[in-house]
Structure 1
Amino acid sequence: MVNKSYRWSNSYRLIVEAGYNTDGKRVKRTKTIKVSGRREAEKELAKFQVEVEAGEYIAPEKMTFYNFVDEWHQKYAIKHLEAKTLESYSYMLKNHIEPTFSSKRLDEIKSLHIVSFLKALEQDGSRKDDKSGGLSSTSIRFIHRILKDIFERAVEWKIIKSNPVSSVKRPKVSSSRVEVYTEAEVSDLLKALQNEPQHWRIMISLALTTGLRRGELLALEWDHINLDEGIIEVNQSLSYVNGENIIKPPKTKSSVRKVSIPEALISDLKEYQEQTISSKQNLADKWEGHPDHFFVFSSWNGKPYYHTVPGTWFRRFLKRNHLKPIRFHDLRHTSATLLINQGVHAKTIASRLGHADIRTTMNIYGHALQSADKIAADTLNALLSPKVDTS
């Protein structure tokens, strides 16, 4: 049944019979829509009737957070979110968000509930991984983002009138000083690498001198390196999603870039390239690399590395050689800091690292930039200071 609603123009109330309840009373499902005319309203009624008869219709006032997340996942997330992002969303939903909100009706969740929930994530025992302490500020901000996104869709689809997360301030991320190597420590690192297998020596050296991300290094192919000009074209990244390696474009448009290789590495790279080509030919049928991708760094049989392999090897290498422990990603930070200390302009560094905005570079490496600026000021101060006549 379609009834014209006189509260708004072009507003119609749809009514569908849904059998009887346990008391023998007739059950009706209703829905108010806004369309251009009665003919369109009749079409919407037909769709509504199918939903009700299939048991797929949930009245907005009875929709739980759990029910809506399922709708959000099928009708929005799968289409609009990248596979890795969706995997991260799903992990946070399952382990942190749904245990608190699953059974709550969507329209009953208020801003105060969100504030209390985010605060609770800071408390000891909220990590869900048997480690002490609460979630990191970065994880809590990520959860805030997930909730805001989900409730935004609920508003857009007219399930609720307002987003309870919109009035909750985005959690601050605790700034931590970037851990990097000094020039002396880099020298010790490079010396220790001389005793390591060639592919690891090349990977660590490239990470240190080009600032490429781990995923960019793992997806690097020989076709992307011009050894005559000393240029690397960064145009893809490798990530591990749902149990398999996925090659995709880098995280932002600015991450697609060309990076110059230090001349001192060119001869090593040429030698390494010859060895990898020879190994591929010698393995013949045992080569299991992708037919369309010849990776610079891979397992002995051509398969791409599992994403945690570089970090695990690097951590053990540092411990074995009694070097200061840093993360594999900190090689990228070290690369940027060394350039800053050499007086390279922040815009050049941002371009080399693939930052979309120079402000990102300034925020991450602000401490190093400030130190370099102090050195520059001291240099100028020496020029301005009156010279003392010692004769």
Structure 2
Amino acid sequence: MAGSIQDRGNGSFLLSYHIGYDAKGKRIRKTRTVKAKNPTEAKKKLAAFVTEIETGQYVAPSHTRFSDYVKVWRKHAIKKLSPNTLETYTYSLDGRILPALGHYKMEEITHVHINGFLESLEGVLSSSTIKKQYNILSSIFKLAKKNEIINHNPMEKSEKPSVTYKEGDVYNSSELNELYQLLNKEENKQMVLLIKMALKTGMRKGELLALQWDDVDFNTNTVHIRHSLSYTKDNGYFLKEPKTKGSFRKVAPPKKLMDELKKHIFKKKTDRMEAAELWEGGKYYFVFSSEMGKPYNLDVPNRWWTRFHERVNKELKKNDKPPLKKIRFHDLRHTAATDLINKGANIHSISKRLGHANITTTMNIYGHYLEEADQKIADLLNEDYI
């Protein structure tokens, strides 16, 4: 068998294989250092090494560091990823991944390094955020394997993180009634309408802020969800496609809410005419925006929602009444879903209304609420049982 083995001690062996000569008559040699228990095992690894070379599967060791290859990957990613996703990935790379793995050479990184890095994030980041770190690394090493920078992709043996959906807090029917009464007393009717839309349609915040006049069809009493508002430092505000293919959808809000929406859009159109050349919305006509048509900052609904709670709870405390439960803005979407469950809507309709990619996602998030609703039905049936 062609090739040779050199014992370097401590279980380390240098494998060598000569594949011919270059133009100057110099012998071309391929080498690899391996760990083996004894010379017999080293010979087996040499045989595999030779086969690898002769079948064209051999990739010469790269001295490229992970941090340097990330720069190559970024140029590739710019063409493949949305600006918002790329900015999110860059934040994760610069903040966590590169500090942990950037100093290694590409061929040095194994699944042990990957698993150790991901495990270090447990208890620090949410399961979904850890999954994003995994996805970023998978994308980088997949490209490296394709470009023959590495021979083996360490992600293939790495443990893929599972996502645990965090249960958000929601309002029950009596809390919802109290909330609507408090909202109707507010002066900022635009923000009140945005909150009601979140509660009655289950739309995501980005989808609400991307909603335009033409997306609302008063003849069919439907709202078309076609975009999501996004923002990056490099691109500013822009509209992107919704989160999933199923997110392209139509929802039918209650008739009374559509009446409020109709009055609101009429006011927006009046504002547009009065603004004339001062209009800041450009070619867009957002349903929820500044008086001059400029899209809302993505954090505006969160800030208003926080201040609303502070304001009403201060007043409730003054009148010796219990406070309104504080939930996150995103939990308004969860409230919309659980309210539909309590009203007897089937899970397929709820999944479609929320724009989930599939019904499995809906079941993962709201399965226990469905079980609770089913138990209530069982209790009702029990009343008639003889």
TM-score after normalising by structure 2: 0.79
Cα distance, 1:171 vs. partner? 2.1
Residue 289 (structure 2) aligns with: 298
Are 1:225 and 2:244 an aligned pair? Answer: no
Q: Return the match for 1:261 from 231, 253, 267.
A: 253
Q: 1:270 to 1:155 in 2, by over 3 A?
A: same
The question of whether the paired residues in 2 share the 8 Å contact of 1:178 and 1:364 is answered with no
Q: Return the match for 2:271 from 249, 260, 279.
A: 279
Deviation per residue, 1:321-355 (Å, 9 max, x gap)? 12211111111110000000011000000111111
Residue 108 (structure 1) aligns with: 108
The question of whether the paired residues in 1 share the 8 Å contact of 2:210 and 2:239 is answered with yes
Are 1:373 and 2:364 an aligned pair? Answer: no
Matches within 5 A, 1:332-343: 332-343=333-344
Residue 270 (structure 1) aligns with: 262
Moved more, 207-216 or 244-253: 244-253
Q: 1:163 to 1:266 in 2, by over 3 A?
A: same
Cα distance, 1:60 vs. partner? 5.1
Structure 1 CA distance, aligned partners of 2:92 and 2:262? 44
The question of whether the paired residues in 2 share the 8 Å contact of 1:109 and 1:164 is answered with yes
Gaps of 5+ in 1: 1-11, 18-25, 31-58, 124-133, 387-391
Are 1:315 and 2:315 an aligned pair? Answer: no
Moved over 3 A (4+): 12-17, 172-175
Q: Return the match for 1:215 from 184, 189, 206.
A: 206
Structure 2 CA distance, aligned partners of 1:268 and 1:15? 80
Residue 97 (structure 1) aligns with: 97
Cα distance, 1:109 vs. partner? 0.6
Cα distance, 1:366 vs. partner? 1.0
Q: How many residues align?
A: 324
The residue type paired with residue 372 of structure 1 is A
Cα distance, 1:175 vs. partner? 4.0
Structure 1 CA distance, aligned partners of 2:351 and 2:98? 39
The residue type paired with residue 113 of structure 1 is H
Secondary structure of the residue aligned to 2:167 is coil
Residue 6 (structure 2) aligns with: none
The question of whether the paired residues in 2 share the 8 Å contact of 1:137 and 1:171 is answered with yes
* Percent of paired sites with the same residue: 42
Cα distance, 1:262 vs. partner? 0.3
TM-score after normalising by structure 1: 0.78
Cα distance, 1:160 vs. partner? 1.0
The residue type paired with residue 370 of structure 1 is E
Moved more, 276-285 or 63-72: 276-285
Matches within 5 A, 1:1-391: 61-74=62-75, 76-122=76-122, 134-196=124-186, 197-242=188-233, 244-291=236-283, 293-322=284-313, 323-383=324-384, 385-386=385-386
Secondary structure of the residue aligned to 2:356 is coil
The residue type paired with residue 115 of structure 1 is N
The residue type paired with residue 177 of structure 1 is E
Structure 2 CA distance, aligned partners of 1:155 and 1:15? 27
